[in-house]
Amino acid sequence: MLVYGSMLTVKRKVVKRLTELTKKAENVKLSDDGTKVIILDQEKLPNVEEYLELDNAEDIYEAIFRLKVRGAPAIGICAGYGIYVLARQIDTEDFDTFYREFKEKKDYLDSSRPTAVNLSWALNRMERVVLNNREKTVAEIKDLLLAESRKIQAEDVEMCRAISEHGLSLLKDGDGILTHCNAGPLATSKYGTALGPLLLGKERGMEFHVFADETRPLLQGARLTAYELQKAGVDVTLICDNMTGLVMKNGWVNACLVGCDRIAANGDAANKIGTSVVAVLAQYYHIPFYVLGPTSTIDIHCPTGDDITIELRDPEEIKSKYYREPSTLPEVKCYNPAFDVTPHELITGIVTEHGVIRAPFKENIAKLFEEHPEK
């Protein structure tokens, strides 16, 4: 197996960047005066690091829809801050008027993407703050919304740390890891989910070699996962999605770690398109396949993966988005689903902040929610 390394001086620099990447929640935050949501524009990475300031419903919607902010937890954080920014703009002291306008803005943001459950989870959580405090003044409700939006992000930092700890317990120093899509700090607030164990292990002196699928159709593995791992000093090799089987056959992969956008009550998991292919290959080559995500991505009201809405994206994301010239003729039809669903039978374990859920998934997920009803 080829070894891809860096000079010691370079490693010192990238480890410093790891501190920057994981110890500050800079990819999604609220402005100091509370009037804007500030995001790192992930659509322009890895070549341009540009921050956007969002202060109206259309811009927040577009940021989520266009994947300027993406990753299920980060979408939820952006939505929480976004609906607070919009709520503070509602100029009335009448609760019914305030709630009517709040609900319109909330439903509008909620329509931006259908698959990632954290979007509706965060917005519904913010709506409950309004409804549970109708006896208070509108000004007081706005203060409570601010506190709740900050709480959503603070909880995500703690959840990612716990997920990283539980995930790291499944790995050993020197393991080869395969990941798909992006589930690192850019998709959350700190360590990330699927990349969290690798970054936490790196902090503790462990070494891993990661094969990062480029991940069609939006190349989030190439643009974001490889970007994060390279800056963190983690040994990473980028591969095309159709190379996964070969690196597994060669014995270079000891575990697969992937994130998720929605997990059904039976353990079926929706993640970026191609994840289910990785799971099938992992089962064939007897490699453990782990899905990592906070319990907020588990939709207890969604019975199976068949009930998960799969988002269809613009065909141009395949035909021309990442090419100097289109890769195919204009009249060629394209099918461009953003996600697929991995059946629970192919999943070795679901890693949450509360530990590793294993089969039987339906029973053990239900038990998790009984033990933690606040989820």
Q: Which helix (H) or strand (E) is 258 found in, with range? A: strand 255-258
Sign of CA dihedral 165, 176, 230, 244: negative
Q: How far is CA 307 from the centre of its chain?
A: 20
Which of the residues 235, 261, 299, 340 is marked catalytic? 261
Q: Which two tokens stand for residue 316?
A: 């141009």
CA separation for the pair 366, 272 (Å, rounded) = 25
What are the residues facing 355 on neighbouring strands? 352
Count the Cβ atoms, other than its own, within 10 Å of residue 89: 13
Residue type, 199: L
Is there a contact between 144 and 131 (Cβ–Cβ < 8 Å)? no
Is there a contact between 144 and 153 (Cβ–Cβ < 8 Å)? no
CA separation for the pair 156, 167 (Å, rounded) = 16
Q: Which letter does DSSP use for residue 44 in this model?
A: G
CA separation for the pair 256, 34 (Å, rounded) = 40
| Helix (H/G/I), strand (E/B), else coil: 64 | helix
**What residues have CB less than 8 Å from 51, skipping those under 6 apart?**
38, 39, 40, 41
End-to-end CA gap in the chain: 44
Assess whether 143 carries a catalytic annotation.
Answer: no
Place of tokens 């409804």: 131
Output the CA–CA distances (angstroms, integers) from residue 64 to 20, 28, 58, 241, 321, in the order listed.
24, 12, 10, 25, 18
Of the candidates 140, 240, 258, the one whose C-alpha atom is nearest the C-alpha of residue 194 is 258
Active-site positions read 261
